[in-house]
Structure 1
Amino acid sequence: MEAPFTADRLRGLTHDHSVPGAQLTIRRAGKRVSVATGVTRVGTARPVTVDTAFALGSVTKAFTATVVAQLVAQGELEWDDPVCEYLAEFDGAVDGRMSAVTLRHLLSHTAGLVADHELDSSRESSLARYTASAVLTSPLHEPGRYFSYSNTGYNIAGHVIETVGDMKWQAVVENSLLRPLGIDPVFLSGGPAGGLRTVADGHTVRPGRERSVHPVGVYVPDGWAPASGLAGSADDLVALATLHLGDHPDADALLPAADRAEMAARDPRANAFGMADGWGLGLAHYASPDGPWLGHDGTADGGTAHLRFHPRTGTAVALTTNATTGTLLWADLVDILREHGIPVGDHRPTTSTASAVQTGLNRFTGDYRNGDTRFIVRTHQDGTTLHLTDATGLTAGLALRGDLTFDARRTDAETAPFSGRFVTETATGDVVLMQLGGRSARRTSAA
């Protein structure tokens, strides 16, 4: 795809989805096209350039995982060593299952840790204190048993990096990975922003006949830096991809091929239902007509980031946006790229064909928890469907199918249906988890 054509398509998509600004980088057959469009903040004339930094959200995790892999390559860490061997904070764990958590569990989201542990102060930047607090929580399940997306696990991985590297997470990431890849770092939390780069503001887009677009501040607790504290450009994301593809001039020195392959390998236990088609160590797997692609998605307050790369062909695609509708733009972009011969991998859930379940629903009712998040599942008045609520006001009807997946349709807001599933214990058939959007909630009591 030529640069003018790519730029025109990106401008059209930002207009369609009311996105103030965006970047797109495509690397294919050794050639790279980078385009930028729009403004960094609605109502201003500050243009987005290819160097503008956007909040990367959870794509930060791919950088954190890569640094862990570098330390493994250097012999400082081992994938399957218990994390308690590196972190004294695990001595204070209240649940013995914490002692079995490994780095592999953390990076594949199979540790069973709560999703979003927070400290009382959002400005607390000590990852040691964060870890000491996080290990006081109870795991959702035995480590290595199921997939449950966890920011908590990556913040603990960041503390491992600090402990072994004897520097703050930001310093290790900058010196070991960002600078060698030619990336001028911008940290949104836990330390001063590096360099002189412009950072795009985020925006919320409210639906309606005429969409309203409002700037919002990016909020990242300082203790969450390893999970979501980076900002960067689409070019920066493709630079990371070139390392994992082995195409960067210093790829083997920065991360040997064996360790790149270890990160890319799909973990059979990491069934990332609702998020991706599989998961490795810091990298998600996304299906495409041309085989699986690797990468990560990220959302921040008022922004999105998407990275995909294809190990077999060396193709890489990255998109950054500064609006909540960036995820919709990404989906349309994937379709356009596929039409033009770039079969980008993306997770597109398919509707189950299993028959509806309308009896025996009490088997699924009860309270489900993930940290401070509590879901309540009850049978509806008609007795043939399930009803889901939580403390935020979410109210939805669940249409359950025989394979234990369900469609949830909100009754408190006009939004598209979302999917989930119940998970049972193999030996007993008892329902133990409910999965929504890649996160698991443990069944703590029956109704």
Structure 2
Amino acid sequence: MSYEVLRGFVESTAKEFGIPGAAVGVWRDGREVYACHGVTSVDNPLPVDERTLFVLGSVTKPWTATALMRLVGDGRVELDAPVRRYVPELVLSDEQAAAEITVSQLLNHTAGLDWRLSVETGEGDDALAAYVAKMAESELIASPGARASYSQMGYNLAGRIIENVTGLTYEQAVGSLLLEPLGLSDSVFAPADAMTRRFAVGHNLGEDGTLTVVRQWKDTRANNPGGGGVSSVADQLRWARFHLGDGRAESGERVLPAELLLRQQEPTVELRGSSLADAFGIGWFLRDVDGVRTVGHGGSVNGQFVDLLMVPERNFAVVTASNAGPDAGLAFNQAVVRWVLETYLGVVEREPEPLPYDEVRAREVVGSYANELMTLTIATDGAELTMACDIKPEIRAATNTELPPDLPPARLGLLPGDEDEYIVTSGGLQGQRGFFNRDDSGTVAGADLAGRLFTRVRA
């Protein structure tokens, strides 16, 4: 497939979704090809290229997991050990859980920790330690090991393990363990390290419908292990080539034993009704697409979106980055990844078909659901179900951080079977899948969306 065909699709799709700037990279047949479009910022525009820096969001999590796996390979960390062996200062609302949570449960999202912790602990070297101290204020959503639920909090705690074991800050440790030996020269954490390079800023739609620059460029320092990395598409393809390899850097240096690298790509816990993945590995989302196994991760911050997907059996990878929200960048990335898989590999992703509207089933799920940060409101007009996903007003009021706007309500369709699964069929979350949880009496008590649990607070 020629560069011109890829570039043409990227440009036309970016224009369709109103993306100011995007970068796409593909690794295939031992070579890489890039297609870039648009500008870094509508206010201070520079052309986007393959070395333009984007905020990775949760695509940082594989960095954290792989850094910990390097410490495992060096005999400095044990995956099945309790977290308190390495973070003795850990205090949670449930003392038994605090004592039982293991390192591996942090890395495969089964620790029982909530999605996020809405606290601000500054930008100093003690930011992560202060964040962990604040975790005592958060209630667990499940007993350790009882279920999988995607957790930024868990990965930030994993970052604290890295700090305590190495005696370095998280950022210094990841630099020395991974970024430097792998030659990821475009990959940084601190805004001060990015500002001397070409970097993209996020954009959201203003009230008048025009794109405006997001002033909050990235999340707080304490969230670096779960979502604070900054990198280019070129570096992300190099990172993908490492994970498609045998644990050696391109220089030949052994960074990770091959068996540990491959272990990261093996299922540790299956997921039910999730668009994230069929299973979590160690730091990776694992998903079968049209009979082909894929390994990857997606990430978002305010007005920026990144997706990385690998197909190990084909020695293939695609990475895409875009700078428009709250929903356009996600839709753009999904469209590009699907097109690339179909065009280059003949792999076609198909969404499940929802059932016709059923009033009885609809009435069972209507209500409000919430987690630490957000609310889901599921409603019906008697003809269809809708879902609104909003940041809690009290969260907006309690922070000076610029938060993304709420998405408008989208249509929701229930799926066949007796698993209470659903799919979002319109809007910025189109294609996202989830399921409803029932209590012992059979009443719907919660909703999972994109791997995150929302507890029902009102019918």
TM-score by length of 1: 0.85
| Counterpart in the other structure of 1:308 | 309
For 1:193, the aligned partner's letter is: D
Secondary structure at the aligned position of 1:312 is classed as helix
| Counterpart in the other structure of 1:219 | 218
Deviation string 1:182-214 (CA, Å, 9 cap, x unpaired) is 11255455x742684221111124699xx6322
* In 2, Cα distance between equivalents of 1:437 and 1:175: 32
Matches within 5 A, 1:93-132: 93-121=93-121, 123=123, 126-132=127-133
For 2:276, the aligned partner's letter is: M
| Counterpart in the other structure of 1:5 | 5
| Counterpart in the other structure of 1:441 | 454
* In 2, Cα distance between equivalents of 1:252 and 1:118: 40
* In 1, Cα distance between equivalents of 2:334 and 2:201: 22
| Counterpart in the other structure of 1:421 | 435
2:336 to 313, 333, 336: 333
| Counterpart in the other structure of 2:15 | 15
Q: Is the 8 A contact 1:26 1:317 kept in 2?
A: yes
| Counterpart in the other structure of 1:237 | 236
* In 2, Cα distance between equivalents of 1:215 and 1:386: 29
Give 1:134 deviation, angstroms: 1.2
| Counterpart in the other structure of 2:399 | none
Secondary structure at the aligned position of 1:295 is classed as strand
Q: Is the 8 A contact 1:147 1:272 kept in 2?
A: no
Give 1:395 deviation, angstroms: 6.9
Q: Is the 8 A contact 2:321 2:333 kept in 1?
A: no
| Counterpart in the other structure of 1:145 | 146
Give 1:376 deviation, angstroms: 6.8
Q: Is the 8 A contact 1:40 1:46 kept in 2?
A: yes
Q: Quick one: structure 1 residues 75 and 418, their matched pair in 2 at CA, closer, same or farther if it must change by over 3 Å?
A: closer
Q: Is the 8 A contact 1:267 1:278 kept in 2?
A: yes
**Percent identity between the aligned chains?**
27
Give 1:224 deviation, angstroms: 0.5
Deviation string 1:223-277 (CA, Å, 9 cap, x unpaired) is 1011111111111111111111116435771111110121101123444723223
| Counterpart in the other structure of 1:86 | 86
For 2:352, the aligned partner's letter is: T
* In 1, Cα distance between equivalents of 2:91 and 2:73: 27
Secondary structure at the aligned position of 1:308 is classed as strand
For 2:295, the aligned partner's letter is: L
* In 2, Cα distance between equivalents of 1:183 and 1:414: 32
* In 2, Cα distance between equivalents of 1:81 and 1:418: 34
Q: Quick one: structure 1 residues 105 and 251, their matched pair in 2 at CA, closer, same or farther if it must change by over 3 Å?
A: farther
Secondary structure at the aligned position of 1:180 is classed as coil
For 1:265, the aligned partner's letter is: E
Give 1:166 deviation, angstroms: 0.8
| Counterpart in the other structure of 1:37 | 37
For 2:73, the aligned partner's letter is: A
Q: Is the 8 A contact 1:358 1:385 kept in 2?
A: no
| Counterpart in the other structure of 2:46 | 46
| Counterpart in the other structure of 1:58 | 58
Secondary structure at the aligned position of 1:220 is classed as coil
* In 1, Cα distance between equivalents of 2:231 and 2:284: 18
Deviation string 1:409-439 (CA, Å, 9 cap, x unpaired) is 89xx9986865321246x7756554212221
Structure 2: give runs of 5+ residues left out of the alignment: 394-405
1:297 aligns with 2:295: no
Give 1:111 deviation, angstroms: 1.4
Q: Is the 8 A contact 1:243 1:255 kept in 2?
A: no
Q: Quick one: structure 1 residues 272 and 161, their matched pair in 2 at CA, closer, same or farther if it must change by over 3 Å?
A: farther
Corresponding residue pairs, total: 437
Q: CA RMSD in A?
A: 3.5
Q: Quick one: structure 1 residues 418 and 61, their matched pair in 2 at CA, closer, same or farther if it must change by over 3 Å?
A: closer
Q: Quick one: structure 1 residues 194 and 354, their matched pair in 2 at CA, closer, same or farther if it must change by over 3 Å?
A: same
